[in-house]
């Protein structure tokens, strides 16, 4: 170790750990060049052996296998390996030199190869203060480097996972497109052949709905009033205080040797405590609802929105200053800006470039397209379009009204076309020629009437078949009358199937009427059928607003080549990273309220400095292991050493389960 260079500025190609060196101390004397030559040589020989085995003899005679081909293969491997290795070395050295060059040199000389635990770092910080033992900048640099490294590794693993799943399935489906932990958020996923290139290109649509309760950073409309924002913050504070009270109540029950609360009991305990923090008395200034913000201040900001008329703006007024405080906290824009930054940064790092961005901030809508042009004829077969929009309940109500109106418009136009084609068919039908079942019925109607008169069916009181009301249209089955719940959540599945069958039947009837002839009437009717079919397919391709709840809707349209699927696989990783970044995900209430059992808690896990002697777990209350069986909220509770069971911040976070818990289950 004495002959090693101790300065990070030394540059040498072979000296270990020098800048630009091909060797490092971790290689322990290995010859990197010999290993590399052996790797390239073996790969070249392996491919040459495969070529000689697979190709027929007459083809091998024309190939210069032992001469030029081997040289080309060797150069190909050599060049690609060198390019990858040089890029890796350059990037690594640049980051290390810029970030922690001096720190690494000092730590290598000390032969220090372990990371200081967080507990020791926190202890040193508490002893000496922020000005001493301060390694914050170095730790930030290390965290950033490892974060970028893990991000690249994760993207590579995701690519490998998607490719493996695709190979195993031998087809493209939603399972290969979006992973299981985010499948619950899918509203609509559709794979269909492209209209212009059905044999080689696939059009994919994926719509994801992230609810308000699942967002890590809440999103508000730009027009939301300051009063609403403040009340929302107060409501969140009240919920947190109630959770803390219930958690303390749980601890008291356990310390007394009683059973924990069940899930239902926890809900009722929370409800009982709501009146401790608020009530419905709006007029009384001493009401509990004005504990956090006085009634006078609440009245000042009533109806105040994101913008104030310049003619009324006064920086000294109370309402202007209250609005300024809210604006400085950036509560109104924080959530949507976080979502926009997340999706754009993921697209950049995933090499999914885009040429068109339209960020409608006030409308809470983001449109990203890979290419600016929207004409399908001028676009490549690998492309995507993303639409990110936040919907509240009022917007969804308006969208549902428009959706109903559009569905009714399609019903009228398709029914009109169906009636016109039926009228053309009835007009051109010959009275003396039998073409279908209706002609046979018309021909046999007289015979059927004579037979009924002979047997006098009408005396029995039964109606004639012709007089009965017809309820079945022979296109689709009858639809059951919707309930109130179904009216509020219209699916229109029956209507969509009916309209498509009516268009198909209209096209078949035109072929039956005209055969191989193409008069002007048929051309016009065929064009109308194709137009309505295309428009209705596009309408059916959209998201039904009855299936969306208040929150963020991510609508992705992808066009990808079937044998390539580059954009499809790349967008799968983008969506999964995006959902992981802005959504807390679905949480089962049983697991969200799960808590580590007191009987499995050890005193030596959470250690602290104290002069008092902590009682061991064996001296705790008797029978506690059998009574602590019900799940409870998972708020982390800090306990002093003098309290029973000696806990100190050892409870897991929400939704986390330890190995001890799994063993108990």
**What pLDDT does residue 404 have?**
92
C-alpha 245/C-alpha 235 separation (Å) is 15
**What pLDDT does residue 580 have?**
82
**What pLDDT does residue 459 have?**
52
C-alpha 192/C-alpha 208 separation (Å) is 18
Run means of pLDDT, 10 residues per run, the chain, 665 residues: 54 69 64 74 80 76 64 75 72 64 62 55 60 64 78 73 66 66 82 86 89 87 85 89 90 86 88 89 86 85 80 81 84 89 87 88 91 86 92 90 93 92 83 74 73 57 57 73 79 89 91 89 92 91 88 91 82 84 70 46 48 44 40 40 39 42 42
**What pLDDT does residue 328 have?**
84
**What pLDDT does residue 108 have?**
60
**What pLDDT does residue 100 have?**
63
**What pLDDT does residue 629 have?**
39
**What pLDDT does residue 23 have?**
66
Beta pairing, strands 186-193 & 201-211: antiparallel
- For the stretch 88-135, pLDDT in tens is 766 766 666 666 666 765 666 554 445 556 666 666 666 655 555 556
**What pLDDT does residue 607 have?**
47
C-alpha 285/C-alpha 290 separation (Å) is 7
Report the Cα–Cα distance between both ends of the chain, in Å, rounded.
54
CA dihedral 456, 460, 464, 467 (to 10 degrees): 140
**What pLDDT does residue 157 have?**
77
User: How many CA atoms does the CB half-sphere of 280 hold within 13 Å?
Assistant: 0
- Angle (nearest 5°) at CA 84 between 79 and 88: 145
C-alpha 579/C-alpha 181 separation (Å) is 10
The candidate with the shortest Cα–Cα distance to 6, out of 94, 77, 119, 108, is 108
Contacts of 41 (CB under 8 A, 6+ apart): 74
Provide the angle, in degrees to the nearest 10, between the axes of the packed helices 331-349 and 566-582: 150
**What pLDDT does residue 123 have?**
65
**What pLDDT does residue 55 have?**
77
**What pLDDT does residue 359 have?**
92
- For the stretch 126-176, pLDDT in tens is 665 555 555 666 777 787 787 777 777 876 777 677 667 666 665 666 666
């Amino acid at each position: 170790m004495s002959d090693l260079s101790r300065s990070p500025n030394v540059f040498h190609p072979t000296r270990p750990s020098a800048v630009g060196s091909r060797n490092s101390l971790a290689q322990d004397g290995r010859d990197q060049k010999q290993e590399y030559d052996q790797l390239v040589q073996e790969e070249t020989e392996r491919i040459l052996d495969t070529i000689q085995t697979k190709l027929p003899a007459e083809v091998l005679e024309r190939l210069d296998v032992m001469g030029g081909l081997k040289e080309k293969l060797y150069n190909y491997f050599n060049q690609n390996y060198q390019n990858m290795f040089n890029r890796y070395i350059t990037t690594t050295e640049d980051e290390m030199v810029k970030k922690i060059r001096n720190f690494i040199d000092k730590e290598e000389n000390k032969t220090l190869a372990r990371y200081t635990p967080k507990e020791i770092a926190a202890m040193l910080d508490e002893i000496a203060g922020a000005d001493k033992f301060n390694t914050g900048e170095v730790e930030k640099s290390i965290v950033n480097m490892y974060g970028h490294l893990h991000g690249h590794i994760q993207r590579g693993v995701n690519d490998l996972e998607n490719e493996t799943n695709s190979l195993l399935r031998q087809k493209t489906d939603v399972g290969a497109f979006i992973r299981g932990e985010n499948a619950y958020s899918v509203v609509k996923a559709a794979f269909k052949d492209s209209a212009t290139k059905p044999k080689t290109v696939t059009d994919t649509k994926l719509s994801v709905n992230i609810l308000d309760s699942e967002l890590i950073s809440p999103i508000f409309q730009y027009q939301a009033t300051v009063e609403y924002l403040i009340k929302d913050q107060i409501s969140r504070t009240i919920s947190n205080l109630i959770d803390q009270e219930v958690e303390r109540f749980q601890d008291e029950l356990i310390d007394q040797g009683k059973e924990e609360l069940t899930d239902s009991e926890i809900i009722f305990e929370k409800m009982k405590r709501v009146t401790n923090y608020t009530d419905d008395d709006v007029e009384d200034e001493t009401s509990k609802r004005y504990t956090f913000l006085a009634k006078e201040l609440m009245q000042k900001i009533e109806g105040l929105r994101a913008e104030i008329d310049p003619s009324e703006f006064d920086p000294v007024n109370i309402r202007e200053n209250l609005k300024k405080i809210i604006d400085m906290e950036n509560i109104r824009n924080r959530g949507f800006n976080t979502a926009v930054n997340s999706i754009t940064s993921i697209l950049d790092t995933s090499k999914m470039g885009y040429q068109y961005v339209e960020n409608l901030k006030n409308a809470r809508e983001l449109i990203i397209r890979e290419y600016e042009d929207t004409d399908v004829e001028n676009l490549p077969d690998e492309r995507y379009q993303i639409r990110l929009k936040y919907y509240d309940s009022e917007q969804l109500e308006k969208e549902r009204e428009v959706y109903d109106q559009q569905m009714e418009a399609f019903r009228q136009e398709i029914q009109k076309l169906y009636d016109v084609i039926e009228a053309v068919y009835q007009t051109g039908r010959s009275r003396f020629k039998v073409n279908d079942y209706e002609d046979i019925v018309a021909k046999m109607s007289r015979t059927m009437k004579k037979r009924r008169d002979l047997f006098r069916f009408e005396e029995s009181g039964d109606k004639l078949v012709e007089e009965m009301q017809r309820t079945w249209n022979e296109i689709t089955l009858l639809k059951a009358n919707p309930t109130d719940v179904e009216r509020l959540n219209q699916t229109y599945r029956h209507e969509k199937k009916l309209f498509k069958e009516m268009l198909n039947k209209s096209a078949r009837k035109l072929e039956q009427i005209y055969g191989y002839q193409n008069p002007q009437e048929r051309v016009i009717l065929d064009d109308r059928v194709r137009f309505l079919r295309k428009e209705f397919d596009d309408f059916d391709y959209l998201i039904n607003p009855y299936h969306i709840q208040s929150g963020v809707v991510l609508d992705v349209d992808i066009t990808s080549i079937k044998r390539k699927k580059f954009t499809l696989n790349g967008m799968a990783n983008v969506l999964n990273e995006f959902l992981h970044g802005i959504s807390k995900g679905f949480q089962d209430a049983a697991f969200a309220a799960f808590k580590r059992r007191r009987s499995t808690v050890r005193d030596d896990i959470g250690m602290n400095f104290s002069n008092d002697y902590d009682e061991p777990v064996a001296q705790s209350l008797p029978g506690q292991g059998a009574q602590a069986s019900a799940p409870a909220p998972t708020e982390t509770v800090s306990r002093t050493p003098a309290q029973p069971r000696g806990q100190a911040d050892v409870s897991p976070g929400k939704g986390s389960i330890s190995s001890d818990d799994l063993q108990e289950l």
